[in-house]
Structure 1
Amino acid sequence: MGEKKALSTQDVADMLHVSKSTIYDLIKKGEIVSYKVGRKVRFTENDVQDYISRSKKGPFSPSSPSGTLGAFSLLGIEKKQDGFIICGQDLILDILSNYMRLHDIHALRAYIGSYDSLVSLYKNKINVASTHLWDSDTDQYNVPYVRRLLPGIPTVIIHLTCRMQGLYVAKGNPKGITTWADFGRDDITMINREFGAGSRVLLDENLKLLGIYGSTIRGYKKENQSHLAVASAVSSGEADVAVGNEKIARQVDNIDFIPLKKERYDLVVKKENFQTPEIQTMLNIIRSPAFKNEFANIGGYDTSDMGKIVAEI
């Protein structure tokens, strides 16, 4: 991240996958730096990165704003804290957590990528993992990774939504970027997602199929932890291309979206916990018309099979 772009409260909320009220709470508590232009609250990209860095070093606290656990990894935590923890980075999970709190379930959020989410479920640090990991050997989402990362653990995979993944490019696509093969060009600079993010796995799997090493791509080692941040980097000209989902492309000026892959975004729970009141309440919520209607006007979400059992492993 850099200092080049002033971010609004909504921009920062999208980057951290939380509500605007959570951002205002962070400002009030002095946990994130901001400034004002007239009556408008603004942030630099470094302010957001500094907050993320401090959160990674800080304690794992159920008292975080709006029931969040902060935008940091769970891998250093020895055991799961009190509360029902849903892990993943999409806005849909924040709304799900809010619905569960309305049903008197203390639902907490942990904001880490798909790979680390599954590892955290395996280590019993969370209750629900979310994942959108594509396996090139089977052309299948999530099931192969659940088998590998939760060995010997009976699990249930529940479908949440489908989203379109693709490429963020500058408005008008001046460099004519259209396929994964374009990452092998000498005139392309990219910006990457962090290790374990579904978008990064999708990129790496396609590069493997093409025989392209990431280390040969300019910008491959430059990472960021949100779709919005990498889309903003393309918008500002810091990079020519990044991988992300279509919904974020609609929120950022001066970029186009090249659709490449319809992905499945699923929830994973341990089978031994499937009949608990918390999991059954969660299932009833995501199958309800009221919850599905939350996304009717947002765009970028296919909720037709929401709540369907994908597999029992």
Structure 2
Amino acid sequence: MEKIYRPQEVADQLKIKKATVYELIKRGELKSSKVGKQIRISQEQLDEYLTRTSPAGQDSGLTAALPPVMDIPRFHADQASRQVDYLLHSNGLIISSQESRVVELLRSLLTRRVNSLPLLHSYMNDYNSLYSLYYGKTHMALTCLCYQQFEERISQISHFLPGTEAAVIHICTLKTGFYVQKGNPKKIKNVTDLCRPDIVFLNREKGNGLRMSLDRLLAEKKTDSPFNPDFRDESLSHMSSANAVASGLCDISMGDLSHLTAYPQLDFIPFNDASMDLVIVKSSLEEPAFSAILETINSREFKDSLLHFNGYETMHTGDILFTTP
């Protein structure tokens, strides 16, 4: 009889956390079956995952050196519009975002509300999330964009949604910055140090809110050594950024402060505050399912749960501003 595993048993075999196993299942990278309400993974399903993520099937370079669990599929703009077409035939609301923890929190609290619909998560970076919302491929985009002035995020979002009036519902503000080794042995002080020849910098992927903000800032800086953003290796999540620095695969990468709690061997250099916002086409706010989402975001339980993440602030959670067409 074929061996059947519990998620914890798979986590023990792969030397990863059980939560990571659930994340792999959610992203469709690790197939599983349900027995009643319990998740089970067969030996065949586990072998298939291990075969696909074996070193022989990976590209060379820095990204390939990261553990397979850290690799999240890349999206290109044309792929993003097709990525979620199959979800549109499902009975649920599609939310596109690179942030999975807040989506999971929102999803769990929504199940308690009468008028709610299932929340289907399509993992995309900020650019592709807004791109897909603009083309009607998703119902909501959860974005995280850096700003100098708080209102600046509205103009950034409007830029991606020309001719569309959208509601921008504030979720939280958070601290973003650079992960470096404990004690900052390379003495990195500011973004111009990223141009130093002795610094190995792992950038975020194109379309990520941090990457877009950094690209704009570097374009404004005058440096003796030009910074070339078009290199092969890119990080696809906060966790993979922190993991790469902690593993010594690079000197510095970018992410948000909350992920630092899992890496005591790292220090953090602040970059900019960022605003996490839920973007919805304004006309959709009249639908009962979206009313349930607004009620959930404004609930005390949702706001208190956000505060468990280090550096998250909820002073303006639930505030709504509108983009201009």
TM-score, normalised relative to structure 1 = 0.77
In the alignment, residue 135 of structure 2 is paired with which amino acid?
K
Give the whole-Å Cα distance in 1 for the aligned partners of 2:19 and 2:220. Answer: 38
Structure 1 equivalent of residue 81 of structure 2: 75
Give the whole-Å Cα distance in 1 for the aligned partners of 2:195 and 2:173. Answer: 28
Structure 2 equivalent of residue 145 of structure 1: 156
- The root-mean-square deviation of aligned C-alpha atoms, in Å, is 3.5
Give the whole-Å Cα distance in 2 for the aligned partners of 1:155 and 1:23. Answer: 38
Alpha-carbon contact 2:196-2:225 (below 8 Å) kept? no
Q: Offset at 1:33?
A: 3.5
Structure 1 equivalent of residue 58 of structure 2: none
Give the whole-Å Cα distance in 2 for the aligned partners of 1:205 and 1:23. Answer: 42
Q: Offset at 1:89?
A: 2.2
Q: Offset at 1:293?
A: 1.8
Say if 2:88 is the partner of 1:88. no
Higher CA-based Rg: 2
Alpha-carbon contact 1:84-1:107 (below 8 Å) kept? yes
Structure 1 equivalent of residue 10 of structure 2: none
Give the whole-Å Cα distance in 1 for the aligned partners of 2:144 and 2:225. Answer: 21
Q: Offset at 1:118?
A: 0.3
Q: Offset at 1:11?
A: 5.0
Give the whole-Å Cα distance in 1 for the aligned partners of 2:176 and 2:201. Answer: 16
Q: Closer, same or farther in 2 for the Cα pair 1:24/1:169, shift >3 Å?
A: farther
Larger mean Cα displacement after TM superposition, 181-190 or 138-147? 138-147
**Paired residues, number:** 281
Give the whole-Å Cα distance in 1 for the aligned partners of 2:26 and 2:304. Answer: 19
Specify which structure has the bigger relative contact order, considering alpha-carbon pairs within 8 angstroms and separated by 6 or more residues.
2
Q: Closer, same or farther in 2 for the Cα pair 1:49/1:242, shift >3 Å?
A: closer
In the alignment, residue 17 of structure 2 is paired with which amino acid?
S
Structure 1 equivalent of residue 108 of structure 2: 98
SS in structure 2 of the partner of residue 181 of structure 1: helix
In the alignment, residue 206 of structure 2 is paired with which amino acid?
F
Q: Offset at 1:221?
A: 3.2
Q: Closer, same or farther in 2 for the Cα pair 1:227/1:304, shift >3 Å?
A: same
Question: Out of 107, 111, 117, which is 2:119 matched to?
Answer: 107
Identical counterparts, % of pairs: 28
Structure 1 equivalent of residue 62 of structure 2: none
Q: Closer, same or farther in 2 for the Cα pair 1:218/1:88, shift >3 Å?
A: closer
Q: Closer, same or farther in 2 for the Cα pair 1:200/1:291, shift >3 Å?
A: same
Give the whole-Å Cα distance in 1 for the aligned partners of 2:300 and 2:270. Answer: 28
Alpha-carbon contact 2:180-2:253 (below 8 Å) kept? yes
Larger mean Cα displacement after TM superposition, 218-227 or 82-91? 218-227
SS in structure 2 of the partner of residue 142 of structure 1: helix
Counting only pairs closer than 5 Å after superposition, residues 159-178 of structure 1 correspond to structure 2 as 159-178=170-189
In the alignment, residue 320 of structure 2 is paired with which amino acid?
I
In the alignment, residue 118 of structure 1 is paired with which amino acid?
L
TM-score, normalised relative to structure 2 = 0.75
Counting only pairs closer than 5 Å after superposition, residues 8-87 of structure 1 correspond to structure 2 as 8-10=17-19, 28=41, 30=45, 33=49, 45-48=66-69, 52-53=72-73, 74-77=80-83, 79=85, 80-82=88-90, 83-87=92-96
Q: Closer, same or farther in 2 for the Cα pair 1:95/1:114, shift >3 Å?
A: same
Cα distance per residue 1:63-95 (max 9 Å; x no partner): xxxxxxxxxx63324743432011112211211
Cα distance per residue 1:165-196 (max 9 Å; x no partner): 11100111001112111112111101121111
Alpha-carbon contact 2:147-2:273 (below 8 Å) kept? no
Say if 2:198 is the partner of 1:187. yes
Q: Closer, same or farther in 2 for the Cα pair 1:229/1:247, shift >3 Å?
A: same
In the alignment, residue 236 of structure 1 is paired with which amino acid?
S
Counting only pairs closer than 5 Å after superposition, residues 224-243 of structure 1 correspond to structure 2 as 224-243=235-254
Structure 2 equivalent of residue 204 of structure 1: 215
Structure 2 equivalent of residue 121 of structure 1: 133
Unaligned runs of 5+ in 1: 35-43, 57-72
Say if 2:258 is the partner of 1:274. no
Unaligned runs of 5+ in 2: 1-13, 51-64
